Homo-oligomer: A and B are copies of this chain.
Amino acid sequence: MDEDDRGPNDTTLTSWVPVDAASDFAVQNLPYGVFRRPGQVPRVGVAIGRHVLDLSIVERAGLLPPMPEGTFAAPALNPFLRLGRATWSSTRSAISQLLRPGSSLEGSQGEVLVPQDEVELLRPFDVGDYADFYSSEHHATNLGRMFRPDGEALLPNWKHLPVGYHGKAGTVVVSSTPVTRPRGLRLVDGRPEFGPCRQLDIELEVGTVLGSSWPAGGAGLTADAIAEHVFGFVLLNDWSARDLQSFEYQPLGPFLAKSFATTISPWVVTLDALRPYLVAGPRQDPPPAAHLAATEPRALDLHLEVELNGTTVSRTGFAAMYWSFGQQLAHLTSNGGGHRPGDLLGSGTVSGPERGSEGSFIELTWRGEHPLRLPDGTERTFLHDGDTVALKGWAGGTDGRPRVGFGRCEGTIAPAREE
């Protein structure tokens, strides 16, 4: 076959692998993940429709651009993350060609193409450092109103820098990992008491996955330097124990209330796949300092949803985030701290301005004043044992544009362990 000169984002592309219109994994997506067939070692693959393309086999067959041998036979994306933008893009192009009708792989079964429901999806990369931001103006305003009713909703620094904190990389888990209700010290009748969290919440976020690396002690990255340093994105649920948080967090910030589990989607959707969905972000006033200035488009037009036990309880958009992922990266490196491949940046809870567009239960229920009513007749303010929360997110899917999504990012609450 002659090489097809359409780019991997061309909306007219089709694949010899069947892809439902409602699938997150159109041939324009090609998200990376790590999967394991029963009894085999983990390998890197790409999702296409209901299948996974085994990249370790494709690599061994010499069908990919030059890269260190066994890059995709690894149990994590990190060796690939290290290689940088040129290799990421050329690899994406090669995979796109292989999945188009008429490619040498067409009709391959079993070995190279495996149904997703026959494999286990693992955490796609080893997380270096995990930093979590607070970059939705609506979310920060909502929490400010709840926790500081007599003060300004936004603190004085909020519009000058993307406020953030460091999290615990070791507790980042992949979708479907059970989330055990944490225990901790919280106030009961005004006195600290140790026991199971009573205000277990979620935070709907999008995580930025860094590739390449940047040395410590150097200049910071600019907000426009994302191309070389941002590999892609995951959905991220920053499970939060609100009662533990309110007792522990002064003066050094959230600690154990957010470090028992952070769930990410099994699929990393690349920046390359999402380029057609970069859009202008909200106007920033005051204008950010020069090192945080970004040229537009800086925001990602993703539709996001939260599902509780099968009922969609929030629908929101990622494009309205005040601070963009590029600005978060510029901020994070502005002190000279550098970054490593596999570092993960949480966007902060994504909340919109309307009721039903908030990314946490504390906001959706306004601290319990308006509990959610579920179809089974029960109510929720915070999560019960056995509840399942699934985050979903995608770009496109309308006006003839393919759907470029993450799959589900879900977790079910297991009861607190007896001590």
> Is A241 close to B, CB under 8 A?
yes
Copies of this protein, total: 2
B256 touches A331 (CB 8 A): yes
> Is A371 close to B, CB under 8 A?
no
> Is A399 close to B, CB under 8 A?
no
Total contacting residues, chain A, CB less than 8 A: 66
> Is A223 close to B, CB under 8 A?
no
Q: Which residues of chain B are near A168, meaning CB under 8 Å? A: 129, 131, 166, 337
Q: Which residues of chain B are near A178, meaning CB under 8 Å? A: 217
Closest to A244 in B: B335
B255 touches A165 (CB 8 A): yes
> Is A182 close to B, CB under 8 A?
yes
Q: Which residues of chain B are near A111, meaning CB under 8 Å? A: none
> Is A336 close to B, CB under 8 A?
yes
Most buried by B among A131, A251, A253: A251
From residue A205, how far is it (CB to closest CB) to chain B in Å? 14
Chain A residues 235 to 257 lying within 8 A of chain B, measured CB to CB, are 241, 244, 247-257
> Is A173 close to B, CB under 8 A?
yes
B252 touches A291 (CB 8 A): no
Q: Which of B182, B253, B339 contacts A253 (CB 8 A)?
A: B253
From residue A181, how far is it (CB to closest CB) to chain B in Å? 8
Main secondary structure of the interface of A (DSSP, over half): loop
A216-B171, A255-B165 are known contacts. Are A155 and B250 too (CB-CB below 8 A)?
Answer: yes
Stretch at the interface among A117-125, A156-164, A302-310, A374-382: A156-164
1/0 contact string of A134-160 vs chain B (CB within 8 Å): 100000000000000000000101001
> Is A201 close to B, CB under 8 A?
no
Chain A residues 34 to 62 lying within 8 A of chain B, measured CB to CB, are none
Q: Which residues of chain B are near A218, meaning CB under 8 Å? A: 417
Kindly state the separation between the CA atoms of A191 and B193 in the bound complex, as whole angstroms: 42
> Is A332 close to B, CB under 8 A?
yes
B260 touches A337 (CB 8 A): yes
Q: Which of B164, B182, B219 contacts A335 (CB 8 A)?
A: B182
B216 touches A419 (CB 8 A): no
The 8 closest A-B pairs by CB, nearest first: A253-B253, A182-B335, A165-B252, A180-B217, A256-B335, A252-B253, A166-B166, A260-B335
Task: Knowing that A166-B259, A194-B290 touch, tell me 17 more A-B residue pairs with CB under 8 angstroms.
Answer: A134-B252, A157-B185, A157-B192, A157-B247, A160-B247, A163-B251, A165-B166, A166-B168, A166-B255, A169-B169, A170-B337, A183-B220, A183-B334, A216-B260, A216-B261, A219-B418, A241-B335
